[in-house]
Amino acid sequence: MPTIFTHAVVPLAVGIACGTRRVPPRLIAAGMIAAMLPDADVVAFKLGIAYADDFGHRGASHSFFFAAVVGAIGAFMHRFFGARPWVVAAWLSACAASHPLLDALTNGGLGVALWWPWSDARVFAPWRPIAVSPIGAGFFSARGVAVMASELAWVWLPCAMVAMAGLALRRAVSSRP
C-alpha cells in the first residue's frame, strides 16, 4: 500500500486543480479522509481477521462497492459540504476508489478486492511501479525511505503537476477579456 499520506494527496491535488468553486474546501478535506479510510481495515489484524479474508486488509474496504457506500453516506451531508448531493456522492466515491486503485499499483501484498462483494478475488494492476509500504513501525526504516522515494516519483510528482496544470488553466481562463 502507499502510505496514508500519499492516499490523501490525490484528492488534494484534484481539488486544487478544480478550484474551490467546484470542490469546496470541506469537501476536499472529506475527500482526503475518504481516500485514507479504506486502510482503517488494519484494525482487522488486532481482531484476529486474516489478511486474505474478505474483511482483512485490502478486502471489502478496498472495493468499488465500499467507495459507492462512502459516497452515498456523504450525499446525506451535502449541505455541510456546500455542494449538491450528486457532486458529494461522486467526489467521495472517486476519492475512496482512488485508494484501492493506488494499492493495485504496488509491488507487494495480496492485491485488492476491487469487485467485492461480487468477487473475493484480489487483483493488481498489470503495471506495478509503486513500492509497497511496510505496515507499522517498519515504515521508519531504510525501506520506508525507499517507499517514500517511490511514492514521490509515482504519485506526489504527478499529483503536483495535475494541481499546477489546473491552477494555470483556471487562471488563463479567468484572465481572458
Q: What is the pLDDT of residues 6-40, one digit of tens each?
A: 999 999 999 999 999 999 999 999 999 999 999 99
Cell numbers found for residue 82: 456546500
Question: Cβ(3)–Cβ(103) under 8 Å?
Answer: no
**What is the model's pLDDT at position 174?**
86
Write a three-state SS string for the chain: CCCHHHHHHHHHHHHHHHCCCCCCHHHHHHHHHHHHHHHHHHHHHHCCCCCCCCCCCCCHHHCHHHHHHHHHHHHCCHHHHCCCHHHHHHHHHHHHHHHHHHHCCECCCCCECCCCCCCCCCECCCCCCECCCCCHHHHCCHHHHHHHHHHHHHHHHHHHHHHHHHHHHHHHHHCCC
Q: How many domains does the chain have?
A: 1
Mean pLDDT (whole number) for 127-155: 83
Question: Cβ(62)–Cβ(38) under 8 Å?
Answer: yes
Give the domain range for residue 39.
Answer: 4-174
Local confidence band at 176 (pLDDT 50, 70, 90 cut-offs) = confident
Question: Cβ(30)–Cβ(74) under 8 Å?
Answer: yes
Confidence (pTM)? 0.93
Cell numbers found for residue 16: 486544487
